[in-house]
Amino acid sequence: MIFGETAVVLNLLSIVAFSVLLMIVVVSAFIHLKGDSLSRYSASSRRQFYWLLALSPWFVGLLAVTLLLFSGSQYFPLLGVFELLHWHHPEEFVFSSWHSLSLGVAVAYGSFLIMRSVKKLIVNHCRVKQLHALAEPDKNNFFQLDANAPMAFTAGYFRPQCYMTSTLHSQLTAEEYTIVRLHENEHARCADPFKKWFFQLLTAFFPLAIARQLNHAMSLAMEQNADAAVVRVITDKAKIAMTLLKVKRLSLGIHDHYRLEQDALCHFGQPDREQDTISERIHYLLSDEKESVLPIYFIMLAAIPLSLVCALSADLFHHVIEYSLSH
Amino acid sequence: MNLGELEKLVLNYFWRVEIADTKQVYAYFEKQRGGSLNTIQSTLDRLFKKGLLKRHKEGHAFQYRAATQRKAFIGQLLKEVTEDFTLADEDSLLTAFVSLSTGLNQRQLDKMEKMIQDYRQKMIAKDAPSNALEDKK
């Protein structure tokens, strides 16, 4: 058993863990029920919203703990509102309790997910570094790779660079090349590879199906954002859409080369989603409708009542568990 | 597979010269970046063990050559990078212009092309009256 400040910190951490879990359930339910209806909003707006969703368990968890901490303080302006929140043996932490067990499981699982993601980042970083060593920059600093697969992509986590294979370059007209270059430059400018990795790390705490849905949605929003950056320079949207389609057709030529890995992966509903990706990008590009914008700051305000609910639920959950264990 | 800086340089050398023995490689790199014969010897040995160089004995010396051509090697690296992207989730880390996913067939792409052409026609038709008005002016 631990007493004092260390016990307070450990108790707070167990409340954070509970709040994170609760928020994961709430966000998962929201994505499951309403995830598909978000497509009518602008790409940049959706992008912000997905970040908010992925960060919300941690944000709300910290806010819930802050509320609990201050609920007993005389300096807290809304003291009366938080009378419901009261601490149970905050300066006492028992290692053989359910608090300790749940905190232990949460820390172990969290550490495992973080280490797995960091390992993936390091392995991929090394491979991209190798690839980079064999690439030659052209006059636009677009790195050219001497390979048969028609590909263009942005890679690198800390200094992202744009790559295009010689096969793809040889099949594009000057205008199409510019479209691909502008698209990839936007990914590099926004540091999208690193952001994708970090987003994946955050969503790894969600159930697998929800994590995939969130990652797919974020990926689509990033691509649409990069397409929108091209439109700011090249106003012929049909030309951009045709370039997308042309590169897709070329990539289908190497389809068989990658088939083995793709088939061995058992992607849950992935083929349908991919169909949506390219067609959604084209539909979004060609759409004349005025884009709706999500009220992000208003949604952020929802974190306050949610934190209160989490803090109250932690309290309620505590009562339920202690009651059932002692009776 | 990890490649050191010198290993990459040596591999690039073999993609240019096709076949060489240790002394020839050393003679080339001595001028370029210095180093000892032993360093070159061990680099060639490592590349051979990694399967990136092939060798056969001629007299007392080994003759080395690249096991794979440049394009094939880069293709393999690209495949490894894409595997990292595709193993966890198809859309994960790669910010590719289009994904390598195979979820679309030719017919669906044709349908999309038709849609783009219709859009283009619509835009031309929309612009036509205003162009005519400008011509009149």
Phi and psi (nearest 5°) for A23? -70, -35
pLDDT at B22 over 70: yes
Q: Which of B78, B97, B123 is the closest to A131 by Cβ?
A: B78
Are the Cβ atoms of B102 and A262 closer than 8 angstroms? Answer: yes
- Most confident residue range from A228-242, B3-17, B113-127: A228-242
Task: With CB atoms and an 8 Å threshold, state whether A151 touches B78.
Answer: yes
- pLDDT (tens place) for every residue of chain A, 327 residues total: 777 777 878 888 888 888 888 889 999 999 998 888 888 888 889 999 999 999 999 988 888 888 777 766 655 555 555 555 565 666 777 777 777 888 888 899 999 999 999 998 888 888 888 888 888 888 888 999 988 888 898 988 888 999 999 999 999 999 999 999 999 999 999 999 999 999 999 999 999 999 989 998 998 999 999 999 999 999 899 999 999 999 988 887 755 444 433 332 222 223 344 445 788 889 888 887 767 888 888 788 887 788 777 777 766 776 777 676 664
Mean pLDDT along residues B31-41: 87
Domain that residue A14 falls in: 2-326
Residue with structure tokens 């007392």? Answer: B60
Q: Where are the domains of chain B?
A: 5-66, 71-98, 104-137
Q: Are A28 and A210 in contact (CB under 8 A)?
A: yes
The amino acid at residue A273 is: R
In this structure, the strands spanning A143-145 and A136-137 are: antiparallel
Mean pLDDT rounded to a whole number for chain B: 81
Sequence length of chain A is 327
pLDDT at A35: 81
Q: How many helices (H) and strands (E) does chain B have?
A: 5, 4
Distance from CA of B48 to the nearest CA of A (A): 18
Residues 6+ apart with CB under 8 A from B105: none
For residue A144, give every residue at least 6 positions away whose Cβ sits within 8 Å of its Cβ, in sequence order, or none.
A135, A136, A137, A138, A163, A164, A165, A166, A169
3-state secondary structure of A234: coil
Asked if A231 and A282 count as a contact pair (C-beta separation under 8 A), the reply is no
- Picking from B15, B52, B101 by the largest number of A CB atoms within 10 A of its own CB, the best residue to mutate is B101
- How many domains in chain A? 1
Cβ burial A279-310 (10 Å sphere, 16+ → b, else e): bebbebbbeeeeeeebeeeeeeeebeebbbbb
Q: Supply the pLDDT for residue A273.
A: 46
Domain B5-66: give its CATH code. Answer: 1.10.10.10
Of A124, A219, A237, the CB nearest to B84: A124
Selected residues 237-276 of chain A with any CB under 8 Å from a CB in chain B:
237-238, 241-242, 244-245, 247-249, 251-252, 254-255, 257-259, 261-262, 265, 267, 270-275
Q: What is the ipTM of this complex?
A: 0.70
* A180 contacts B112? CB cut-off 8 A: no
